[in-house]
Structure 1
Amino acid sequence: MLEVNGLVKRYGDQEALKNISFSLAGGEVVGLLGPNGAGKSTTIKCIVGLLRKNSGDILIGGYDHQSIEAKKIFSYIPETPHVYDLLTVQEHLQFVSQAYYVTDWQLKAERYLELYDLIDKKDKLGRDLSKGMRQKVSICCALICDPQLLFFDEPMIGLDPKAIKHTKMLFKELKEDGKTILVSTHMIDSVESLADRVMIMKDGNIVGNDTVPNLKANSDASLEDLFLEMTSDSDE
């Protein structure tokens, strides 16, 4: 579903992504872990086309990631949600649905609005929403077009405990439906319980890429301890 080969991203003389390669299979949930500045958000933004890569190939569903065919089959939920100031919550869902030619959007919208406690907020303007509600709207908009591949960048930030629980439940449902998910997060316990595989980044490189059981096969350490060990500086 996703192929990344030799991805390089530079900011001036600084190499933020250093020739990284990985792939995601259909129906796979993959956690992307790393300390601040490791390159997680840069990786996702290059894949979805928000940042221009310096070199490398990115294919989504066999299509170049910048093509219309690729954009039709993925959704992106950013760390900082953006909404339209003068559209209501429901109009956001209608707008996205019409852009993706979703015919039964009202039924889907009602389900997601109810799931995230937004029914009574559906006529509220984007400019009047809290950060948490903006994040909920962003997730609803990403889901309503029924994408095959979803990119979540720190999706739990700003969500209340009930919304976090429902988001984890959605991850399981999406996986059962054969969707592919790449989720960048600092919530290691969530990744351990949800992900089929984790990729650990440090300084623009992928330093670990395996299932949680395989990563822990030769150690009694927790995933959190392994993460800290793999991302620590060698002289510490």
Structure 2
Amino acid sequence: MLEIQELSKSYGKHLAVDRVSFFVPDGQVGILLGPNGAGKSTIIKSIAGLLRYQGRIGIQGMSARTLEARKIFGYVPEIPAMFDALTVREHVEYIRKAYDSDITEEEVQALFQRFELADKQEKLGNELSKGMMQKVSICCALAIKPKVILLDEPMVGLDPQAIKELKKIVLELKEQGVTVLISTHMLEMVEELWDVMFVMDQSHIIGSYRKEDVGEKDLDDLFFEMTGGEKR
């Protein structure tokens, strides 16, 4: 589970996030939405451990600041960053050793097959396209076998086959009881995946929905209804 309690973050005099709280239970997919400047990126970076903040972030009941919590937390950033001199295979091996993951060789190869990386394992980080870097970043996050995973705009830059595969993986993670948080503007891409949705505006969570409570209502309609914008 992922629990955010009274999270606040300021940049100088600017309050980017103001006492935000939300919760995503085990085996559910949460969607974090918000217009530019709402504070969404600050929340993402705080959860990922990239910013100092006030409040509490809990991962499986542990403080997100602890090593134990970090070992079971996976993160796919919006802009992937590779080591120039490491191969695709070495990136995954580096993560496996850093997290002391028990992922098997067969499971690593299965990930490469699913994301069409099996024949690209010896390519260096500086030889990869953005889409390929995104695939490697996803494989690295999955290689630690996380209990909680944060995906920031994960489908941007992916080809249709990779998007299809990633959706399958998200559903598989749900079945395994993994907590998933996806930050995205591509609402149509998560229509069949989400369980809870959190809408941000002007540094606050201004509303949340549970899929079971809204029936067949369109995600776009829910978002623009809450933010007061117009559906395009």
Contact 2:195 2:212 in 1 (8 A): no
**1:73 shift after superposition:** 0.9
**Which residue of structure 1 lines up, in the alignment, with residue 174 of structure 2?**
175
Q: Do structure 1's residue 160 and structure 2's residue 159 form an aligned pair?
A: yes
Alpha-carbon distance in structure 2 between the residues aligned to 1:104 and 1:174:
15
Contact 1:77 1:142 in 2 (8 A): yes
Contact 1:30 1:198 in 2 (8 A): yes
Give the alignment's TM-score, normalised by structure 1: 0.92
Q: Do structure 1's residue 38 and structure 2's residue 54 form an aligned pair?
A: no
**1:102 shift after superposition:** 2.5
How large is the Cα RMSD of the aligned pairs? Answer: 1.7
Contact 1:105 1:144 in 2 (8 A): no
Alpha-carbon distance in structure 1 between the residues aligned to 2:75 and 2:86:
20
Contact 2:103 2:143 in 1 (8 A): no
Match of 1:222 among 189, 193, 218: 218
Q: Classify the secondary structure of the residue corresponding to 2:191.
A: helix
Q: What's the CA shift string for 1:22-46, capped at 9, x where partnerless?
A: 1121111111111122222211211
**1:197 shift after superposition:** 1.1
Q: What's the CA shift string for 1:193-222, capped at 9, x where partnerless?
A: 1011111111111112121352468xxx63
**Which residue of structure 2 lines up, in the alignment, with residue 2 of structure 1?**
2
**Which residue of structure 2 lines up, in the alignment, with residue 60 of structure 1?**
59
**1:191 shift after superposition:** 2.5
**1:15 shift after superposition:** 0.9
List alignment gaps of at least 5 residues for structure 2: none
**Which residue of structure 1 lines up, in the alignment, with residue 74 of structure 2?**
75
Matches within 5 A, 1:1-236: 1-53=1-53, 55-215=54-214, 222-232=218-228
Q: Which amino acid aligns with 1:224?
A: D
State, as a whole percentage, how many aligned pairs show the same letter: 48
Alpha-carbon distance in structure 1 between the residues aligned to 2:103 and 2:155:
28
Q: Classify the secondary structure of the residue corresponding to 1:194.
A: coil
List alignment gaps of at least 5 residues for structure 1: none
Tell me the matched-pair count: 230
Give the alignment's TM-score, normalised by structure 2: 0.94
Alpha-carbon distance in structure 2 between the residues aligned to 1:181 and 1:41:
17
Q: Which amino acid aligns with 2:38?
A: A
